[in-house]
Amino acid sequence: MQEADIAIEKGNYKEAIKLLDKAIEKKKYLSEAYTDKAHCYTMLDKDDSAIIVYNQLISYQPDNTLALYNSGLCKYRQEQFDEAISYFDNAMTTKGFNPHDSSKSQLIFEYTPEGNKLLGNPGKFDVALPEIFYMSGLAHYEKRQIRKAYSYFMRCISEGFNLGESHYMIAACWLSLGKKEKACESFKTSSLHGYSEASQQLSKNCN
């Protein structure tokens, strides 16, 4: 694992994969070896191979948030948005959030790194819920499921996550619904949070 880490730092991803395979031969359920191996495939632009590795990990660790989330990212990059959404939904479920509950309020507990350590949780395989919300929102937006996308971006904003881009995507949702005035308000808010693309859209759509 240490040799693989060095290889990854140097960008020698093929060599790292060989070393990680050796680690897995010695210890089949070494979670970090699978995530590092999948990461190497991603860096080599081989998302299909990365997904295979993540699924190997998920097969014995179904609540591994990072593996589910990163699988969703792979599918998103491949523009396979339905499958991306499914992975993101499963990642949310590991955090105690029900993506099929349409109520505005769900009580979710996020553990801090210190909390994970205290409870013995594998914190290194964690992903913050708002980050999952944001990517799921993008996937739903690409599917033209605008109201669902809007709800996720609003959740990001309520959590104070990625505010510039979240407000920008809220504006994009409003434009898709033909609500130009509301879109312009959100573009302004996004611009105030320093997101440069929002300023361009203000000039283009909000004279």
CB 142, CB 81: distance < 8 Å: yes
Contact 85, 68 (CB under 8 A): no
What pLDDT is attached to residue 180? 94
pLDDT of residue 119: 46
pLDDT tens per residue across span 47-85: 999 999 999 999 999 999 999 999 999 999 999 999 999
Helix (H, G, I), strand (E, B) or coil at 12: coil
Contacts for 26 with CB less than 8 Å, ≥ 6 apart: none
Separation between Cα atoms, residue 130 and residue 152, nearest integer Å: 8
Q: Are the CB atoms for 7 and 13 separated by under 8 Å?
A: yes
- Comparing C-alpha atoms, which of 101, 97, 31 is closest to residue 60? 31
- pLDDT, one tens digit for every residue, the chain (207 residues): 999 999 999 999 999 999 999 999 999 889 999 999 999 999 999 999 999 999 999 999 999 999 999 999 999 999 999 999 999 999 999 999 999 876 655 555 555 555 455 545 555 678 999 999 999 999 999 999 999 999 999 999 999 999 999 999 999 999 999 999 999 999 999 999 999 999 999 988 887
Instruction: Compute CA 12 distance to the chain's CA centroid, rounded to the nearest angstrom.
Output: 25
Q: What is the pLDDT of residues 160-173, one digit of tens each?
A: 999 999 999 999 99
CB proximity list for 25: less than 8 A, separation 6 or greater: none
From the CB of residue 66, how many other CB atoms can be counted at a distance below 10 Å?
20
Q: What is the pLDDT of residue 17?
A: 97
Residue-by-residue DSSP string for 113-179:
HHHHHHHT--GGG---HHHHHHHHHHHHHHTT-HHHHHHHHHHHHHTT-SHHHHHHHHHHHHHHTT-
